[in-house]
Structure 1
């Protein structure tokens, strides 16, 4: 078994309540798991199951209400906000469904932005190298408006990789792409994992999940199942089973809480890259 890149221990995340605990929504409920280094993990589940909250807490975008999260040997739950921001800039990469590229900057400038925010002057050779990894070296001088959706997502992927992160997190990274372009991006991710990168991806798409080494299924804030070496058919069948089971955590309420939290986290990620 590979050394764990990420470990969660009894992680719980609740929203709301305050003086009215009966209104509390538990998005994650005592989740424990290990993500081995150099593996591709997909996270799936019905709407409101806690997928985005799991990604946020694991990536240090949100703090759990209880429990502990480790990146390697670093306990994220005990870091100050400043140290957590620095850790995200240096050791974690993010790719979202919305590409979050700055329209006035070229692909090369967008990719180099995390390094500038971390106080480093990007070496052009390094930026071009990572653009080459995603097949866009020749598009370095193009702005986002001059690129297709798939090319923009590949620039976003290069931006996430330029700091050589220990773990790359994706929240529906192919959700805005057509099936052909989606497969191209997933093939890139699969190749990066085969070369040693650790990837954790939230997705609703069984085809996307089939590129992973294993799929974790969430329901009501808990991991209820997992599949190793997943096929499209097995993933789709398990999702159909989960979607047919009535949820007990307040369905739409849980989804709204998770969605609001994800919106805030995305803003913070763009600001801190």
Structure 2
């Protein structure tokens, strides 16, 4: 459904030159189906889902419990392999990779933010942020670290431990950790679920600014229409299938759409 553009020809001094061009989509799902079998029972969590995430976009995924939101995120992020269909990260087809190769992709090209901050209590904020680089044996780019820390507002907290931070600050550490490898996409699963409304708004403002200022691609699974309204578009799932989408959403239009998913 979504074609990956790998390059284009350009005339220069009378000769055709191949110019590298990044795919228009950071993440692409094409006819993705995921089924689970328990004994004689088969559950189709995703049913032929095709969707592209344009680079530098903020997409929210919503739907009732059991609609396939988590399965969608897991397949899109290479955490789980679909039963059929293809998933692309840029110009790399994740569905062709084995688990070892997928681990490398997740570690170097994908960022994750979850409801639980998943910080290591014994490490400082700096060490928590740079942990993915340590796992990969990659030296810290101090200039990039400084920029990220400034973006997330943690410049005076680098030597603190997670227990010395508020919930919102801990989530900011998790977001900075997700960004440290310069990922092609960040996947956020209910990132404000454990936060109060004021702190959640601050985290959403931060995510919005990362898209606008850094061109980061973010996909967020959420149940909250207010959280979804910070995205460029909202994609709805019902019974494992796409059930519409909204561009330039508001909390009111998202809530109204959700009320009609049962009719769909």
TM-score by length of 1: 0.85
Structure 1 residue runs of 4+, over 6 Å off?
A: none
Match of 1:266 in 2: none
Q: Is the 8 A contact 1:14 1:65 kept in 2?
A: yes
Pick the aligned partner of 1:182 from 176, 200, 204.
200
Match of 1:202 in 2: 221
1:10 matched to 2:28? The reply is no
Name the SS of the counterpart of 2:130 in structure 1. Answer: helix
Higher strand share: 2
Match of 1:35 in 2: 53
Name the SS of the counterpart of 2:60 in structure 1. Answer: strand
CA displacement, residues 100-121 of structure 1 (integer Å, 9 cap, x when unaligned): 0000111111001000001123
1:127 matched to 2:145? The reply is yes
Bigger CA radius of gyration: 2
**1:124 CA displacement:** 4.5
Distance 2:156 2:236 in 1: 39
Distance 1:103 1:238 in 2: 41
**1:24 CA displacement:** 0.6
CA displacement, residues 154-187 of structure 1 (integer Å, 9 cap, x when unaligned): 0000000001101011000111111111111111
**1:241 CA displacement:** 2.0
**1:128 CA displacement:** 3.5
**1:245 CA displacement:** 4.4
**1:126 CA displacement:** 3.7
**1:127 CA displacement:** 2.9
Name the SS of the counterpart of 2:210 in structure 1. Answer: helix
1:155 matched to 2:155? The reply is no
Q: Is the 8 A contact 1:128 1:140 kept in 2?
A: no
Aligned length: 241
Distance 1:166 1:92 in 2: 6
Distance 2:54 2:67 in 1: 23
Distance 2:38 2:158 in 1: 48
Name the SS of the counterpart of 1:24 in structure 2. Answer: strand
Structure 1: gaps spanning 5 or more residues: 247-273
Distance 1:145 1:7 in 2: 38
Pick the aligned partner of 2:243 from 195, 203, 224.
224
TM-score by length of 2: 0.88
1:118 matched to 2:139? The reply is no
Structure 2: gaps spanning 5 or more residues: 1-22
Distance 1:17 1:155 in 2: 38
Distance 2:251 2:201 in 1: 13
**1:217 CA displacement:** 0.3
Taking structure 1 as reference, are residues 67 and 229 closer, same or farther at Cα in structure 2, changes over 3 Å only? same
Distance 1:204 1:106 in 2: 32
Q: Is the 8 A contact 1:126 1:162 kept in 2?
A: yes
Distance 2:54 2:171 in 1: 26
